[in-house]
Amino acid sequence: MSRMDLLVRRAMFEGREVDVIVNEGRIVEIRDCSAEIDLEEFEQVEDAYGLQLMASMTDVHVHLREPGFEYKEDIRSGLGAAAWGGFGNVLCMANTSPVNDSASVTEAMQEKANIYWPEGPRLFPIGALTKGLKGDELAPVAELRDAGCVAVSNDGVPVKNTDLFRKAMDYAANFGMTVIDHCEDPYMAVGVGVNEGEVSDRLGLAGQPDVAEALQVSRDVLLAEYLDIPIHLAHVSCEKAVEIIRQAKARGVKVTAETCPHYLLLTDEWLAEPENEYSAMGKVNPPLRTERDRQAMIAALNDGTIDFLATDHAPHGMHEKEVEMDVAPCGISGLDTALAATWALVQDGTLSREAFDRAWVTGPAQTFGLPVNRFQPGDTADFFLFDPEEEWVVGPGTMHSKGKNTPLAGTTLKGRVKTHFLAGKKIV
């Protein structure tokens, strides 16, 4: 009798100790741990005593910076951070240099991923919606799809021309591609990465109003309803936008939406705390909002109005962030911290376990047609072993991304990935 490929021994799963049997890259069986199992029947045995068995996560919103900005991040370091962060599938945005608006750039990204991480994390590029992200001319969507892109987006540079955006949605849908939109009215959202309100007034900074986001969400929802095609809304951050999405879903509009861990964890008050005042580490686009918005994000994630989470991982050099707010770039490095930070919300009862699994595992995979592991026989064996008790301090020595720009720096988090398997192969 031929031996099975892998036995994961004594892992904790749904409150009980289990053995996981894997063969040919797929889950064969999960069964209660037995002392009588014959270890000789397996090519590889992984001891998981005391560790949680968790399905690999998918991050649909990552900036890997390569080509063009490798000093911030490159595909090798970004996928490394993803692997240690619990992510098996990574979708990377097109705002590279050159912009990913052609098959040659898409293929170069995939080639780098295959060289450095041949067993995964799997890289799925997102193509540009318009050439050069300039908002003037549609990118060659069919070419991008054929090269391996799974969606298209002008993320970071919202398309001003509504008629062009309508044509882009229609055009992309013809090739089975979903448009991911960065929802901000480009005329109203010109600020310095802080929410318009009491905090921006107190700090004397130009703010970005939540209505600028809500206006663009309204536009996109109405177009999706009118055209009867899907739209995916990126990094939703405010209550006004959530209410529009909730009403749209009730009407049957094909809209999906993500929010990010930082909108669940922080508010604009972080920028006003004495130790953080004017710190660009909390400068992100859309900006950190109010406590009312934060509570709305949590409620929307729990009730499914927000479909899932994404990190919006945006690494920068420290020399770029340790400058005045108005000149620093927007973005937070998130791949290293997302799992532990959001797992803490499950542990304290803020987020349901069901919502957590939907947010990181089933929701993004279903929306973009990616592999998903529900631990059923035949599922792709994508999982990691997680030590929920290990404490670690966020900082340069504990992060795998080149980007150390995070408002969580110095924070003690609880929970670390100890090892990660994709299609039954150990990647870290």
Sign of CA dihedral 285, 287, 292, 295: positive
Is 312 labeled as catalytic in the residue annotation? Answer: yes
Nearest to 379 by CA among 41, 55, 46, 32: 55
Q: What is the CA radius of gyration of the chain?
A: 21
**Going along 100-237, which residue ranges are E strands?**
122-128, 151-153, 178-181, 231-233
What is the spatial distance between Cα 18 and Cα 31, in angstroms, rounded to a whole number?
A: 5
Catalytic residue among 312, 336, 357, 382: 312
Q: Are 19 and 51 in contact (CB under 8 A)?
A: no
354 Cβ contact list (under 8 Å, min separation 6):
none
What is the spatial distance between Cα 27 and Cα 288, in angstroms, rounded to a whole number?
A: 40
DSSP for 239-256 reads HHHHHHHHHHHHTT--EE
Nearest to 65 by CA among 100, 116, 101: 100
Q: How many CA atoms lie within 13 A of 375 on its CB side?
A: 17
How many Cβ atoms sit within 10 Å of the Cβ of residue 181? 26
Q: Which residues are catalytic?
A: 312
